[in-house]
Each structure stands twice: as C-alpha cells, then as structure tokens.
Amino acid sequence: MTTSFRVEPGGSLRGELRVPGDKSISHRSIMFGALAEGRTEVTGFLDGEDCLATIAAFQAMGVPIERPERHSVIIDGVGLHGLRAPAGPLGMGNSGTAMRLLCGVLAGQSFDSVLVGDASLTRRPMRRVTEPLAQMGARIDTAENGTPPLHIHGGRNLHGHRHTLAVASAQVKSALLLAGLWSEGETCVTEPAPTRDHTERMLLGFGYELQRDGRRACLKGGGQLQACAVDVPADISSAAFFLVGASIAQGSDLLLRHVGVNPTRTGVIDILRLMGASIEVLDRREIGGEPVADLRVRWSPLKGIRIPPELVPLAIDEFPAVFVAAACAQGETVLTGAEELRVKESDRIQVMADGLSALGVRCEVLPDGIRIEGRETLDGGEIQSHGDHRISMSFAMAALRAQGEIMVRDCDNVATSFPGFAELAGGAGLGIAST
C-alpha cells in the first residue's frame, strides 16, 4: 500500500513555521565534507531519504559519518584521494542530484563503481552529464537509452576542459566542476543562463580556489578542501508550497523562518510577486556563505501572467506549486521554455495538466510549457501524483481553494525531500490526513 493525502476543502494558513533544510545544500555538505581534510559539522541537515542515500554512499566508500541528533551530521573527511572502492552498487534512491554530482566525483577515482536508483530515477536522462565528462577523459556506461544504472570506470586520467552548456543545469555544472578537482589543468563551465550556485559557494567555503566571471566558473585540479562548519538553511523549494498556499487562501498570514534566499533560487518569489502575491523578505542575513531571510506571506488576489523566460531556470523545481497558483489566478498564465520539466521525477507538465484538469481547470499543454486558465474555485477530485513528491504537495495545497475534498495518490516519495510535510501543513491550518 502506498501513502495517500486526503485533504479537506477550504481553510487558511496561519502562524510561524520552519520547513526542512535545503536538499541541494544538504547533498553537497556530505560530498564536500567527505572529500575535505578534517572534521565537518553540519547543522540544519535535511533528514530526507534522498540525502540519507548520499550519506550511505559515502559511508560505503569508507568515510566515517555520524548523526548525533536529528538535522546534525559529523563527517570525518578522507581527502580527495581517500575514498575506497564500495563493496557493491551505490543506491541513489530518487535523487537525480546525488547521481549526477557523484558522476563527477567518481569519474576521478582509482576504482570502478556503479550507481543505481529507484524506478523513477532509472528513467531519467544521464547523457547530459556523462557525455561532457567523457570530454574530460571519463568513461561512464549507461543503459542503452542513456539512463541508469551507471557504470563508472576508475583509473582514468582526467584533463581540464572548457565546457559551454547547451542547457542551463546546476547538476551538470556541478558534476563537471567536481570532476575538475581530479583533473590536470583548468576546468571551466559556462552556462547559458544562471542556475543555482551552491557548488561554487561551497567550494569557496571549503577553501578551494575558484574563479567566477559572470556565467563562467573555473578551477584547477590538484588542490585541497579544508573542513568547515555548514549551517543548512530551510529549503525554498519546500517553502514554495506554503508561499503558494498562503497566497491563494483568503485569511492566510504565515511566517516562514530561516529560508535560503540564494538569488539563483528565488525565481518562485519573483514569479508569485508578478502575479500579485504579498511576500515580504525580512531580516536578510548571511549564514555560512548563503543568504537567508524570513518570509512573510499573506493572502492576496492573484492575476495570470506570461512567466518571464529569464526566471524559468531560477524556479525550475517550484513550477508544480506555481501551476496551482496559476489555477487560482484571474486570467491566463503562460509558461514556455521549460522543457526540463519533462524529465524530472515525472513529466511535470503533463502530470500537472492532468491533475488540474481533474479539478476543473482548463489548461493547454505546450511542447515546452503550459497555458493555464485560472478559476475562482477548484473542484474536488482524485489526483495521481505518479510518485512525484512535488506534485503531491502542490495538489495538497490546491485544496485550500477547492469546493470538495482532494485525494492525492502515491505520496510515498514526499519523504525524499520533505519528511513531516503533512504534520507541518496540518499545524498551519491545512486539513490534511495521510492514509
């Protein structure tokens, strides 16, 4: 039996809460801590299944990692040349981030390794990272259609390369920079549009020399990473569900504490504000090299917009929630230039369109986006999430504007990024129960 969310119609979100730690930063904190010299202590760590899989992978490669309490990790790094061959395949669970970044790490090792994932991850494209790594001398075998499992051959002499990415992807950029740590010469990555820069910030935080010039990042192999403390802020991708929920539910007034507001991740705030959302960014500060703030969001009538193309890569993971906001906005919302949504944990364009249609929303699927016609209220209904955690949580919030109960099926993978979602949302006023 799989978990379902049964969500009562109506209500509002009020109070203060802190969503779990940022998944992207949590993954990287384990990787960098493992490869550093000395002891790295991580606080605010996301205890989700994806990040726990990253811990297990590095433990399997001989890295001592302790978890003294929830949201806390201690890593005794083994340095860039201290990893050991694992006894078997490394399981990445549902995490495309972990798999793609580990390609860069493992391409430079002396031993062979195999990366595997769950059914969803096994369908995701990997050639976008294996092919540019091959230009650096790596050899990574995929399944016939370019998907996992990935067989990474060790003992390769990697060399620096100047990469110009065809598609904006923080995962590909990060994998190439990580491979550059073991490469002879300089590795440079130029991206067509800004993407999240947690890898670059963390490299600098761990004392590794990196040059940044606009959309290009360069580093030379042969250096060292030095252990440091990492404080993981709350994940803006998880906060996005509450930003949308409070924006669409009349009477809502919600304060989200200690949220990461890295400018390469705040596209969802910019998009919602363009739609008329009332979102205040309070007490801006910097923690461990990452900008953090408190976000206050109150109900406000939303209007449909044409989403600016420059904001698309800055909100790529938050679009399922944005689609719910569009369904509750006056007028039409149009998104284009988002082909990347087709190859996430699900085809998020089609799956969201199917779910919105089940709630009475008129929408048109485009090859690279969607057109959504907003409604005053949504119908109740049954939603198939296709095992996609962001689909599940987005439609749970949609119930705040529904006339009838919404049942969201196949929600087990919510635990990969947001353990305790139903309890936290219920405490804020959402009438949600897990069944």
Q: How long is the chain?
A: 435
Distance CA 396, CA 227 (A): 40
Name residues whose C-beta falls within 8 Å of residue 169's C-beta, 6 or more positions apart in sequence: 128, 191, 195, 340
Q: What are the structure tokens assigned to 116, written together?
A: 């595997």
| Residue of 118, 317, 388, 410 marked active site | 317
Annotation marks residue 354 as catalytic: no
Nearest to 224 by CA among 40, 37, 75, 74: 37
Q: Which amino acid is at 282?
A: L
Distance CA 245, CA 400 (A): 7
Q: What are the structure tokens assigned to 73, written together?
A: 């990790």
Distance CA 155, CA 152 (A): 10
Contact 237, 25 (CB under 8 A): no
Q: Is 16 helix (H, G, I), strand (E, B) or coil?
A: strand
Q: What are the structure tokens assigned to 135, written together?
A: 């230009």
Pairing of strands 72-78, 113-116: unpaired
Catalytic residues, by residue number, are 317
